[in-house]
């Protein structure tokens, strides 16, 4: 079973990935949307996931009836709509060190919901809304509680530098309080 066939929304044309390839600076800054320079439809993402050896089901996260319809469009799609060759033409999408909020990093000994924190940090990069700050401040355990034990980094299948991102969370959200 393939989970998160849209890579946490990163591969979707309606998500954060769009625009032309801008270069390594975008990769280094974490702006993978500009770095990748391509996007896929939900049908293409599902087609890719289902083409992998041993995969017989793909489970996308859907937040609305429209997203469910977009995922189900795979069933009626033809070969042209299912073509995911853009993935093979640009292997940058496979970059490691990118959190897709899968929570394989858990269980944190400090009780921190790491995936949720990583998502808040990513949203904060693209939004200056008070709701992100409020969500962070409303958490019972947050990045400030991290002891940097490294267990999350050991468990992460994507090589995300979790403790470094926790430090960044403290910077971003402490500045927001000031």
Domain-embedded: residue 164: yes
Query: Which tokens is 63 given?
Result: 């937040």
Per-residue model confidence (pLDDT) at position 75: 94
Domain-embedded: residue 88: yes
Per-residue model confidence (pLDDT) at position 147: 94
Per-residue model confidence (pLDDT) at position 37: 56
What is the Cα 82 distance to its own chain's centre? 22
Query: Is 40:88 a contact under the CB 8 Å cutoff?
Result: no
Instruction: Identify the domain containing residue 162 by its residue range.
Output: 114-177
Same domain, 90 and 127: no
Per-residue model confidence (pLDDT) at position 22: 32
Query: Is 138:178 a contact under the CB 8 Å cutoff?
Result: no
pLDDT digits (tens, 9 = 90+) for 93-117: 565 677 878 888 888 999 999 988 8
Per-residue model confidence (pLDDT) at position 50: 92
Same domain, 66 and 131: no
Query: Is 29:77 a contact under the CB 8 Å cutoff?
Result: no
Q: Which ranges of the chain have pLDDT less than 70?
A: 10, 13-38, 88-96, 126-129, 175-178
Domain-embedded: residue 68: yes
Report the C-alpha gap between 54 and 64 in whole angstroms.
29
Query: Which tokens is 134 given?
Result: 């409020």
Report the C-alpha gap between 72 and 54 in whole angstroms.
21
Per-residue model confidence (pLDDT) at position 156: 85
**Crossing angle between the packed helical segments 42-50 and 65-72, to the nearest 10 degrees:** 50
Please compute, for residue 69, the number of CA atoms within 13 A of its CA located in the half-sphere on the CB side. Answer: 3
pTM exceeds cut of 0.85? no
Domain count, the chain: 2
Per-position DSSP letters for 77-137, written without gaps between them: --HHHH--HHHHH-GGGG-SS------TTPPPTT---HHHHHHHHHHHHH---HHHHHHHH
Same domain, 121 and 68: no
């Amino acid at each position: 079973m393939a989970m998160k066939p849209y890579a946490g929304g990163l591969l979707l044309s309606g998500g954060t990935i769009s625009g032309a390839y801008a270069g390594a600076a975008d990769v280094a800054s974490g702006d993978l949307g500009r770095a990748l320079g391509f996007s896929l439809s939900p049908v293409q993402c599902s087609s890719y996931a289902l083409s992998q050896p041993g995969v017989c089901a793909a489970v996308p996260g859907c937040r609305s009836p429209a997203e469910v319809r977009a995922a189900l469009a795979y069933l009626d799609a033809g070969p042209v709509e299912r073509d995911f060759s853009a993935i093979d033409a640009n292997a940058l999408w496979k970059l490691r060190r990118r959190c897709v909020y899968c929570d394989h990093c858990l269980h944190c000994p400090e009780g921190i919901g790491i995936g949720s924190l990583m998502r808040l940090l990513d949203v904060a990069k693209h939004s200056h809304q008070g709701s992100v700050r409020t969500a962070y401040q409303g958490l019972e355990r947050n990045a400030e509680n991290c002891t940097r034990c490294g267990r999350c980094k050991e468990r992460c299948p994507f090589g995300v530098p979790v403790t470094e991102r926790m430090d960044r969370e403290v910077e971003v959200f402490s500045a927001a309080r000031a």
